[in-house]
Amino acid sequence: MRVRALPDKRTAKFTVLERMNVRSVRPGLLDRLHDDDPGLAAELLQDPAVRRRNRIALDWDGSWRLDTGGTDHLDAEAIDVSVRFAARIPVRPVRLIAEGCGLSRAEAERLITEGKLVSAVRLSDRLSGDFTFTLKR
């Protein structure tokens, strides 16, 4: 079975199920497949097995931002920030933090080295789940 994804009003087909009797597909899933449900396409594109099977690489550039709520907090001794993802979008936290706080990436990495930017996760690694960090001045 194939489903259509609708990025930028273009259509692409990708394989979801192969060599399967249609009666063995859950009725709810089958209905969504027949309806070309865009929500289903988005869900399936999150599945690494589907992406690998179809040789799909997702481009997440420009898909995220860190809203720091202005500059009023910059005078504080420390800022605690929780980052929540609406979708599992892979990002390097150091890049997100640098852009959101108006820092260069090198400056953000220097703050990590100096212990002024800390987190329970490795901020230089790619991450697609929620995390928190503290920025100390």
Residue 75 or 101, more confident: 101
- Listing DSSP states for 96-128 in one string gives HHHHHHT--HHHHHHHHHTTSEE-SS-TTS-B-
| DSSP bridge partners of 15 | 2
What confidence score (pLDDT) does residue 96 get? Answer: 85
| Residue range 26-56, pLDDT digits in tens | 999 999 888 888 788 778 887 888 888 888 8
Higher pLDDT, 101 or 130: 130
> How far apart (Å, rounded) are the C-alpha atoms in residues 113 and 37?
46
Q: Is the pLDDT of residue 98 over 90?
A: no
Q: Which two tokens stand for residue 91?
A: 């990002």
Backbone angles phi, psi at 2, to 5 degrees: -125, 150
**More confident site: 23 or 89:** 23
Whether domain 72-136 has CATH 3.90.320.10: the reply is no
Quickly state the pLDDT bin for 17 (edges 50, 70, 90): confident
**pLDDT for the residue 121:** 92
Domain boundaries, the chain: 2-53, 72-136
Least confident among 2-16, 17-31, 41-55: 2-16
pLDDT in the model for residue 24: 92
CB atoms within 10 A of CB 9: 5
